[in-house]
Amino acid sequence: MNLVKTVVGYPYIGDNRQWKRVVESFWKDAISEEEFRQQMHDLRIAYLKRQQALGVDLLTVGDFTLYDRILDLSVMFGLVPARYHTQGNQPSLDTYYAMARGAKDVVACEMTKWFNTNYHYIVPEYEEDALSFQHNYLLEYFEEAKNELGVITKPTLIGPYTFLTLTKGYSKQQRAAYILALIPLYARVINELTAAGATWIQLEEPALTKTLADDEVKLVEEIYQQLAAETTGAQLLIETYFEALTAYDRLIKLPVAGIGLDFVHGKKENMEAIRKFGFPTEKLIAIGCVNGRDIWSANLAQVTSDVKTVLALSGVENAWIQSSCSLQHVPVTTASEQKIAVVLKEALSFADEKIQEIIQIADHLVTTDEGAKQTVSHSTNAIEALAADASRQNQKVKQLIEAVTEQQFSRETSYENRQIAQQEALQLPDFPTTTIGSFPQSADVKKMRAQWRKKEITDEQYADFVKKETARWIHIQEEIGLDVFVHGEFERTDMVEYFGEKLTGFAFTDKAWVVSYGSRCVKPPIIYGDVEWTEAMTVKEIVNAQSLTNKYVKGMLTGPVTILNWSFVRDDIPRELVANQIALALRQEIAALEEAGIVVIQVDEPALREGLPLRQENKDDYLNWAVRAFKLATSSVLPTTQIHTHMCYCEFNDFIGPIRALDADVISLETSRSHGELIDSLQENHYELGIGLGVYDIHSPRIPKIEEITAILTDSLQVIDRKQFWVNPDCGLKTRQQYETVEALKNMVAATQKLRQQVKTVN
């Protein structure tokens, strides 16, 4: 038996966010393009050496990116929309980043969630006859590893079927032409890599774990048959992850040399499929047995037993022992964490530690060495110690959960009656303008927070600074002319971390960063124990802001499902139960805000959709408990208290049912990059509750023109009743500069005033 130790992919961010600093230095013109490319090269080589030192047998290239791996493929295949004016020339680095972030005179490409993760990718845009082969960056990465390290690596790229399903812009009639144009490009990449000496090429196909109709399975078969015919000498491995391989009995026969299966998230179904249909013994099986999406130590005894079962059932001679998916979804190493309690740290495993687990599993399978047995025993002891910890034995939380009644999951008054009561109580104008919540986290804000964290300034000094910054932005909002204000969230580092710090059951890290999109990195909290509300978390800051203005200031909370999905969550109890613990804590916070006189309260759920299972048959169960958790948090308020929520990249057309089921008085949607799709959706699906449209893209530094926003508002008015219609940016503004923020909001308000005048004139 030949067991190779490898990973699907490794984090490109670096253990101290080195990658982020290089990228942002280039954006700021602090380094030249030549310096940028050299520093990126140095990072790639350093990461490969790090994995070598950890004991990885087969290193991977192509898991690195300058912004986003899907964008890398789009540019390599010439999918550069005409608005970027490349005119057939090879796209420049400036064009690449314009597609990602927008530029002064051009909007960015659409960005959306990568399957059911918190990572966002840049959506490929197909324009007829647009495909052409550009620079093969994978060949460059392969050759630099070969020449500088003397190793033959495994190049990886997103597979053709997944790339096809993620692309937008082609009609049903154009799909065949797009596929026919795409396959030769993949073939050229593969053939060039093979000619350079690549022995294995990994094609990542997570779309093959979704529910596929028979005609889609047939299309996958046809794509790979044609790809096999156009490539010679290449050993292709199809890598699947996030769920079990669908249509296993057919897709396992694809003309490739190996198949990668997820035996973490797709363990049950993949095991059953192998038992029923076997596995082609001439193929290599890549066993994804170490969880690439969470931060908990593997139960090595159980995982080793599972791998033995897979090897016995498959009967193969060659296998890879690997992560279940790319390790980019977890932080780099626990070695950087010095403040976490020992009982918790012993039970944690980040990317480097997961590689060590892969090696330990492989070693345990091929040796009877006593040290290997002790390693397995140590992992079991760490898991059991955390399970017995007092943090997981909170009787008060248990009693609160047991006391929940069905009535607590719904508002007492219907939306129609609430709308009348709120219009009378709040007296807002048509098309109320507001923002999503956060304002720019300036250098001064970050500096003061850092000083406070280091205890270089007192709690009182920090609180005084936050008050002054809040007052300054209340004044700015008055000058801009917004209708409903926010306090700006200057006391908050992150919309999840802030609440986790004030609830029990959460732990926080120093350097456990992961990429959310582009260079935007987050440090997800760790929910390791029972979650309990102990005191008001936001009331003081919101009440202070409200005292500074006669306009309404929104209470700002992060919803239970978003706190869940944007954290690393304990795996010893169902996620539904954790969501309900968080919901009960937020319910108490909402009651405290309402008691303090706050009558507009926003409970954001931007991550509701990303927890959605990939398999159609599993979606209803998740949506049922996720929606109920939101309603458990928000249903106790008076009819005159207006509940808002916010969602990111929710694919409204497919998600209108759950959005409606939330029963929020107003939902704001992040749709500026795909506004036309939302309008089409609203034409087909009537939505009767309040809705705020994201009328400009906050992820881009460009300032939208009044005419652009006016056009969006005018189009939207065709499908949204003016009594329901709110106007807002598409997301929070913490990552923008003050000048960009103020000018964009001024244009948004000016466009809204034009719309009010138009409607008034018509009536």
Q: Is 222 annotated as a binding residue?
A: no
Residue 144 neighbours by CB distance under 10 Å: 16
pLDDT on residue 60: 98
Give the amino acid at 737.
Q
pLDDT on residue 654: 67
Q: Give the Cα separation of 755 and 711 in Å (integer).
A: 10
The predicted model gives 543-566 an average pLDDT of 97
pLDDT-derived band at 352, boundaries 50, 70, 90: very high
The predicted model gives 735-743 an average pLDDT of 92
Please give, one letter per residue, the 3-state secondary structure of 273-332.
HHHHHCCCCCCEEEEEEECCCCCECCCHHHHHHHHHHHHHHHCCCEEEEEECCCHHHCCC
pLDDT on residue 682: 78
pLDDT on residue 718: 84
pLDDT on residue 670: 73
The predicted model gives 438-461 an average pLDDT of 92
User: What 3-state class would DSSP assign to 75?
Assistant: helix
Kindly tell me if the per-residue pLDDT of 686 is higher than 90. no
Residue 253 carries which DSSP code? T
Q: Is 670 annotated as a binding residue?
A: yes
Count of residues in the chain: 763
pLDDT-derived band at 90, boundaries 50, 70, 90: confident
pLDDT on residue 673: 60
pLDDT in tens, 654-685: 678 888 999 999 998 876 666 567 777 777 77
The predicted model gives 420-445 an average pLDDT of 94
Q: Is 460 annotated as a binding residue?
A: no
The predicted model gives 403-415 an average pLDDT of 96
Q: Which two tokens stand for residue 217?
A: 């399975």
pLDDT on residue 671: 66
Kindly tell me if the per-residue pLDDT of 652 is higher than 70. no
Q: Tell me what percent of the residues of the chain surpass a pLDDT of 90.
A: 80
Which is catalytic among the residues 120, 329, 487, 699? 699
**Is 41 known to be catalytic?**
no
Kindly tell me if the per-residue pLDDT of 653 is higher than 70. no
pLDDT-derived band at 413, boundaries 50, 70, 90: very high
Kindly tell me if the per-residue pLDDT of 86 is higher than 90. no
pLDDT-derived band at 649, boundaries 50, 70, 90: low
Kindly tell me if the per-residue pLDDT of 62 is higher than 60. yes
Q: Is 489 annotated as a binding residue?
A: yes
Q: Is 520 annotated as a binding residue?
A: yes
pLDDT on residue 669: 81
**Do 5 and 325 contact (CB within 8 A), yes or no?**
no
Phi, psi of 557 (to 5 degrees): -130, 155
**Do 260 and 235 contact (CB within 8 A), yes or no?**
no
Kindly tell me if the per-residue pLDDT of 369 is higher than 80. no
pLDDT on residue 85: 77
Q: Is 118 annotated as a binding residue?
A: yes
**Do 237 and 286 contact (CB within 8 A), yes or no?**
yes
The predicted model gives 318-345 an average pLDDT of 95
Q: Is 648 annotated as a binding residue?
A: yes
Structural domains of the chain ordered from first start = 2-83+126-390 (3.20.20.210), 396-762 (3.20.20.210)
Kindly tell me if the per-residue pLDDT of 164 is higher than 90. yes
Q: Which is more confidently placed, 606 or 519?
A: 519
pLDDT in tens, 8-47: 999 999 999 999 999 999 999 999 999 999 999 999 999 9
pLDDT in tens, 189-213: 999 999 999 999 999 999 999 999 9
The predicted model gives 596-619 an average pLDDT of 92
Q: Is 289 annotated as a binding residue?
A: no
pLDDT in tens, 623-639: 999 999 999 999 999 99
pLDDT on residue 376: 72
pLDDT on residue 406: 96
Residue 640 carries which DSSP code? T
Residue 12 carries which DSSP code? S
pLDDT on residue 595: 97
Kindly tell me if the per-residue pLDDT of 527 is higher than 70. yes
Kindly tell me if the per-residue pLDDT of 242 is higher than 80. yes
